[in-house]
Structure 1
Amino acid sequence: MTVRPVERLCYLLGLGLIAAGLAHAVVLVVTGGSWSGPVSLRKPATFGVSFGLTLITIAWVASFLPLGDRGRGWLLGLLAGASVVEVGLISVQAWRGVPSHINFETATDSMIARVLAGGGFVLIAVIAALTVVSLRPHPTVAPSMRLAVRAGLLILDVSLLTGAVMIFNGVRTVFGENQQAAYAALGTLKPVHAVTMHAVLVLPLLAWLIRTRWTEPRRVQAVRAAIAAYAAVATAAAATLLAL
C-alpha cells in the first residue's frame, strides 16, 4: 500500500507526540512528581501518547476509506494540526504549573482553555466526517475491514462526545464558582472516555491481522465478536459510573 504524503506527515507527527509524552513520563519518574491532579506532568504524558497513537491510527484507518486526495488532505491535516495544538498547549500549562482545561483564572489561561475547546470541536468534526465517509460502499476493501473501521470510528465518536460532556460539565461548574468541584467533574466520565478511545485501533488491527488466516465470512464473524466484546466493556464502565 502506497503511503501518501499527508499520511506520512501524520505518522511522523504522531511519533513526535508519543515521544513528547514519554519524555514527560520520564521527567515525572525522575523528579518524583505527583501522578494525580490537574497540574501533574502525567497529563501531557498521557495526552501526548494518546493523541500520537490516535493520529497514527486515523491516518492508517483513513487509507481504507473512499476519500479523494483533497478531502483526505484536509481532514487529516486538520486532525494533525488540532492534535499538535492540543498536546502543545496542555504541555505549556503543565510546565507553568496551572490547569489546562476549564481554567479561566487569567486572560492567558482563558485564551488557552478556549483554544483547547476549539481544538476539541475540530477533532469531533473530523472524526464525524470520517465516520460518515466510512458508511459509503467501498468494494475494494474487505467487508471485515470495512466493518471494523466503521465500528471503530463510531466508538471513537462516543469517546469524543464523552470528552465534550466532561468539558461542558466542568465549565458549568466553574461558572458556578466551584473550581475544585469542576476539576472533579472532569474525572467522572474518564473510564468511559478511555475505554472507547482506541477501539478504532483495536478493531481494524484485528481485521488486518487475520486478513490471510481465515475465510472472509469467518473474519466478519470474528470482527463482530470483537465489537460485541468492546461494547460490553464500554457498557460495563458506564454502568459502574451510574452505580456510584
Structure 2
Amino acid sequence: MLIALAVACLVGLIVDDRTLLGAPVWLKPFKFAVSFGVYSLTLAWLLTLLSRASTLAKRLGDVIAFMSMVGVGLITVQAARGRQSHFNVSTPGDAAIFGLMGSLVTALWVITIVITGLVLLQRFGDRPTTSALRFGLVLCVMGMAEAYFMVGTTSNAGGISGAHSVGVPDGGPGLPIVGWSTTGGDLRVAHFVGLHALQAVPLLLVGMRALSKRLPVLGDEGVRLGLVRVAGAGFGGMIVLLTWQALKGEPLIYPDSTTMAAFTALVATIAVAASAVIVSGTRRVRTRPSLNLLT
C-alpha cells in the first residue's frame, strides 16, 4: 500500500504544479511514503528473527503496517487538499488530522520501544549481528523521540503550532529534495539520522562481511563487533550534536566555530576508536597461524 501511495505521489509531482511552503505539494507525502515503507519493511524483517513472543511480534508487525499506511494516507489527503499536514491547527478538520497523526506517531514510537526491548532480550547469530540490530533500534527510538522538539519547543501564530525549523519560518530556503533549512536550524536532520540508523548500522556490518575476503582483519568477529559499537556510539553522538545545532537556530551547512569544534572532536574520537579496534584485530589475526602451529 505504501508503495502504491509513493507511486501516486510521484505521479502527482509530475502532473500537479501546486506548491506549499515553497515545495511541491506532493513532495512531502512521497518522502513519507518512501521513508515509512523502508521503516516498515525493516521492522517486518526484524520481527521474523524474533524467536521469543513470536505471536506478539506478528501482531506488532500488522499494527505497524496499518498505522504507517493511515499516517501517510492522512499526509496524502492534506496534500491533495493543498493543506499543510504538520502543525496545522487552523481549522477543526486540520487540527483533527494533525492530532490523529501525532497519536499514530506516538503509538509507533511506543511499539518500536517494545520491539527494542524484545531485541535486547535475544541474541541473533553472532555478537556483531546482535549488537548491530540493538544499536539500530535504540538509535531509531532516539531519532523518533527527537521529533517531539518540533512540537514542544516551537510554536507559531496563524493556526500553526510547532515547526521543523528553529529561528526562521518553515518553508524558507532549503537543501534540494530534503528541504532542510539553509537559513536556520532544522530539527529534521537529527530525526532523519536517528530513524535511518536502523538500516545504516546493520548495513555497515553487511559491508564489513563483504569486504572481509579482501581485508582479512574484518573477518575477525571481535573487529566487526568493535566497529559496530564504535559506529553505534558515533551515530548517537551525531544525533545529539545535530539536535543541539538545530536548537541553536543554526543551519546544518553553516556551522559556527563551536559546532565545528564539537563535530571535529566527535569525528576524531570515532576515528581513534575505530583505529584502535582495527590495530588490535590485526595483531590477533597475525598471531593466529603461529598459535595454530604450536597446538
TM-score normalised to the size of structure 2? 0.67
Contact 1:90/1:100 (8 A) holds in 2:
yes
Matches within 5 A, 1:76-155: 76-138=61-123, 140-155=124-139
Counterpart of 1:104, as a letter, is: V
Counterpart-to-counterpart distance in 2, 1:184 and 1:136: 35
- Distance in structure 1 (CA, Å) of the matches to 2:201 and 2:135: 8
1:232: Cα distance to partner? Answer: 4.3
Counterpart in the other structure of 1:6: none
Equivalent residue, structure 2, for 1:198? 196
Q: For residues 36 and 178 of structure 1, do their structure 2 counterparts lie closer, same or farther at Cα, with a shift above 3 Å needed?
A: closer
Distance apart, 1:17 and its partner CA: 1.4
Q: Contact 1:149–1:203 (CA<8 Å) still a contact in 2?
A: yes
1:1-244 equivalences in 2 (<5 Å): 16-34=1-19, 36-37=21-22, 40-138=25-123, 140-169=124-153, 173=155, 177-179=157-159, 182-183=162-163, 188-211=186-209, 213=212, 214-243=219-248, 244=250
Residue type of the partner of 1:126? Answer: I
Identity, in percent, stands at: 28
1:233 deviates by 3.5
1:50 Cα deviation from its structure 2 partner: 0.4
Whether the aligned pair in 1 keeps the contact of 2:127 and 2:225 (CA below 8 Å) is yes
Distance 1:218 1:57, change over 3 A: same
Contact map agreement 1:206 1:223 (CA 8 A) in 2: yes
The total of aligned residue pairs comes to 224
Larger radius of gyration: 2
Query: What amino acid does structure 1 have at the position aligned with 2:228?
Result: V
Give the ranges of 4+ consecutive aligned residues of structure 1 lying more than 6 Å apart after TM superposition: none
Once the two structures are superposed, what CA deviation does each residue of 1:7-28 show, in whole Å capped at 9, x if it has no partner? xxxxxxxxx4144224423432
Give the match's secondary structure for 1:198.
Answer: helix
Q: In structure 2, how many angstroms separate the alpha carbons of the residues matched to 1:73 and 1:61?
A: 11
1:96-146: CA deviation from partner (whole Å, max 9, x where unpaired):
1112223233332222122111101110111010111122142x5221111
Deviation of 1:190 (Å): 1.0
Separation in structure 2 between the aligned mates of residue 202 and residue 189 of structure 1, nearest angstrom: 20
**What amino acid maps onto 2:220 in structure 1?**
T
Cα distance in 1, alignment partners of residues 54 and 19 from structure 2: 45
On the 8 A contact 1:93/1:100 being kept in 2, the answer is: yes
Question: Is the alpha carbon distance of 1:238 and 1:165 closer, same or farther for their aligned partners in structure 2, counting shifts above 3 Å?
Answer: closer
The secondary structure found in structure 2 opposite 1:179 is coil
The amino acid of 2:126's aligned partner reads: A
Give the AA of the match of 2:117: V
More helix by share: 1
Preserved contact between residue 145 and residue 208 of structure 1 (Cα < 8 Å): no
Coordinate RMSD, CA, aligned:
2.7
**Runs of 5+ in structure 2 lacking a partner?**
171-185, 213-218, 251-295
Decide which moves more: 107-116 or 198-207. 107-116
The normalised TM-score by structure 1 is: 0.79
Asked whether the 8 Å contact 1:66–1:136 carries over to 2, the reply is: no
Q: Secondary structure at the match of 2:45?
A: helix
Mapped to 2, the partners of 1:42 and 1:28 lie a distance apart of: 7
CA distance in structure 2 between the aligned counterparts of 1:73 and 1:181, rounded to whole angstroms: 36
Gaps of 5+ in 1: 1-15
